[in-house]
Structure 1
Amino acid sequence: MDTMEYRFLGKSGLKVSELALGTMTFGREASKEESFKMLDLYASEGGNFIDTANVYSNGKSEEIVGEWLRGKDREDFVVATKVRFPVGQGPNRAGLSRKHILWSVEQSLRRLNTDYLDLYQFHAWDDFTPLEESLSTMTELVEAGKVRYVGVSNFTGWQLQRAVDVTKELGLQPIVSIQPLYNLLDRYLELEVLPVAQREGVGVIPWSPLRGGWLTGKYRRGMQAPPEDTRIGIAEKFGWSESWSRYNNERTWKVVDRLLEVSKEVGREPSQVALRWLLQRAGVTAPIVGARNVQQLKVNLGAAGWVLESKYVDLLTEVSEPELFYPYDFVRNAQRRR
């Protein structure tokens, strides 16, 4: 397997491996034993960036990561988690209020068996809490030594820009990263989120880089339905965003067809090529790879340490170009008339 490389996270001095390990399956599709095996494999291949959230498997994901970290050198790993979504029935058990953030960080620290978080992220925007309250609380956590860096997830372009501006205006801890949905099938963040991130020096750590399996080569043109025991089959049953009914369309199959062609030409697995394309996009720091078992993870880690030739990058970029809508199509056409 090729050698894992490391990149700075945004404008910070923190170095993370070019592939982060997502742990949403831990305690759900993956047992504790299988999760430990995946963590062992990831670490053995040079991975140091572990991403979780307080709501993954109702906290079980954090607990599994925390148990695995026992006996390890904590400084060898960059541990990231999130706060925002409901973790109970009380009126203050969700959101980005000072009360909820301060309570949530203590719960996450306990489950993760650590006295600090390397990266603490807003899991999503909160319309009901002043941004100044949320960001000042994160700064307090950094000053208290419980958090090292602050990030956001699932923000729109204007939300990210506003968060960056508030930190500058009030002298708060900067936003070092954003965690968005980004892959060959989902590229709309290129319209606003990515330009803001690049201009402001915010690292991009994409989630669902293989869109739940759509970009692994498992699904082919002509299939009538996904197998029930696959991620896409489960997504269809429960109405998750990567469902068959949402992506079973001509654009998806054109992208998948091209991905299979390129993969065959370069002698790599489709998932490795899809991840490599993302790794070579401007502004991207580290895609978050998840898996249900060691075998899947081993294949995905094969995306590290090599370069996809520019001609293949261009082929994939061209076929996956999203159809623009107003005002973005208007802006693009206006630029052509300069």
Structure 2
Amino acid sequence: LKRLGTDYIDIYQFHHIDRSTPFEEIWQAIDVLVQQGKILYAGSSNFPGYKIAQANELAARHGRMGLVSEQCLYNLAERRAEMEVIPAAQDYGLGVIPWSPLHGGLLGGVLKKEATEGRRASGRAADALKDTKTREQIQAYENLLDKHGLEPGEAALAWLLTRPGVTGPIVGPRTREQLDSVLRALELELSEELLMSLDEIFPGPGPSPEAFAW
């Protein structure tokens, strides 16, 4: 806390499940931190749906608040969270905080930048574009948004804000231009026609058990 220059943390998020520590002990430790005034709430990150349920059911049995948020990988190109993580978060009242909303830059107009500015993708986006199907998918996505006069990155963020349970995506602008782009996404309203077209390009898996049972 001294290093962060703050008296307390609003939401202390578990970055990953702890396979060796039972939630009884975890909640006892959180109780101490809350009593000491060092944190206000606890959240999870990268939890599967059953762990969200397990954590909050145990917390409820002992009269604790439980998890208040889930930070998960969720964006147009990666929608597996819709199967169980987001439904579990909604049922238990957790706010969903998607990380990597542009999927490592893949949804930020990467092909247009490559063609017009010579800026080649790197990291996760570059790896994904090696797959022909993915490249065609991203090209269709960029063509669709160009048709509607929209910037890909702004539309991807605006799409997340239409999703049930999503509180707000985590963004990491490095320049004022990028920050302005993020703020424009807040005002962007996507038409039903456009949302349907995006679903056609990036079909979600649907909720469980339908997603895998039939």
TM category, shorter: 0.7 to 0.9
Rounded to whole Å, the distance in 1 between the matches of 2:10 and 2:114 is: 45
Give the 3 Å change call, closer, same or farther, for CA 330–191 of structure 1 in structure 2.
closer
Helix, strand or coil at the partner of 1:206: strand
Give deviations 1:105-135, integer Å, cap 9, x for gaps.
xxxx112211011111001111111122112
Q: Match of 1:206? A: 98
Q: Match of 2:62? A: 170
Q: Match of 1:300? A: 182
Tell whether 2:166 aligns with 1:248: no
Q: Match of 1:135? A: 27
Give the 3 Å change call, closer, same or farther, for CA 172–114 of structure 1 in structure 2.
same
Deviation at residue 215 of structure 1 after TM alignment: 0.5
Give deviations 1:72-97, integer Å, cap 9, x for gaps.
xxxxxxxxxxxxxxxxxxxxxxxxxx
Q: Match of 2:46? A: 154
Tell whether 2:98 aligns with 1:216: no
Q: Match of 1:32? A: none
Helix, strand or coil at the partner of 1:259: helix
Deviation at residue 323 of structure 1 after TM alignment: 6.4
Rounded to whole Å, the distance in 2 between the matches of 1:313 and 1:128 is: 42
Q: Match of 2:139? A: 257
CA contact (8 A) 1:259 1:274 kept: no
Q: Match of 1:78? A: none
Residue number among 276, 286, 289 corresponding to 2:158 in the alignment: 276
Give deviations 1:26-46, integer Å, cap 9, x for gaps.
xxxxxxxxxxxxxxxxxxxxx
Matches within 5 A, 1:17-36: none
Q: Match of 2:89? A: 197
Q: TM-score, normalised by structure 2?
A: 0.87
Rounded to whole Å, the distance in 2 between the matches of 1:314 and 1:124 is: 33
Deviation at residue 330 of structure 1 after TM alignment: 4.4
Q: Match of 1:184? A: 76
RMSD across aligned positions (CA): 2.6
Structure 1 runs of 4+ aligned residues shifted over 4 Å read 220-223, 326-330
Instruction: Give 5+ residue unaligned stretches, structure 2.
Output: none
Helix, strand or coil at the partner of 1:110: coil
Give the 3 Å change call, closer, same or farther, for CA 212–297 of structure 1 in structure 2.
farther
CA contact (8 A) 1:184 1:255 kept: no
CA contact (8 A) 1:138 1:173 kept: no
Q: Match of 2:15? A: 123
CA contact (8 A) 1:255 1:316 kept: no
Q: TM-score, normalised by structure 1?
A: 0.57
Rounded to whole Å, the distance in 1 between the matches of 2:53 and 2:130 is: 34
Rounded to whole Å, the distance in 1 between the matches of 2:9 and 2:133 is: 40
CA contact (8 A) 2:42 2:67 kept: yes
Q: Structure 1 vs Structure 2: percent identity of aligned residues?
A: 39
Give deviations 1:240-278, integer Å, cap 9, x for gaps.
xx2523453244334423332332243321100011111
Deviation at residue 327 of structure 1 after TM alignment: 7.0
Amino acid at match of 2:30: M
Instruction: Give 5+ residue unaligned stretches, structure 1.
Output: 1-108, 236-241, 334-338
